[in-house]
Structure 1
Amino acid sequence: MSVGFISLGCAKNLVDSQVMAGYLKRGQIALAPSPEAADVILVNTCAFIEPAREEAA
């Protein structure tokens, strides 16, 4: 089984996806080179887009 990621939202969300990918790799789960090539796609979204934008400004 391979897993692909789609990260939507702020830059912090991308870091969260990278952390999750690291856990999966340590658990012997293959990471797909793209979501299209994955058996499973994890969509990581952010509910705090506006506060993150304000913090980054």
Structure 2
Amino acid sequence: MTRRLDCFIQYFVFYFTSVKIYFSFLLAEFLLDCSFFKFDLEKLLQLLTFEIYSYQRSHLL
């Protein structure tokens, strides 16, 4: 039972993180499409890099 719960938690964390990264990329696409919206591309890339790093780190632990 504990192993099933552990697998479920790992799957949930993987799924949630994947969805978060996916929506971050969607947000980036939306911001790039909006020519009237001024934003800092470097900060956006830092956010995406942090999300990917967090995802990788959570799976190594």
Which range, TM-score by smaller chain? 0.3 to 0.5
TM-score normalized with structure 2 length: 0.36
Bigger share in helix: 2
TM-score normalized with structure 1 length: 0.38
Bigger share in strand: 1
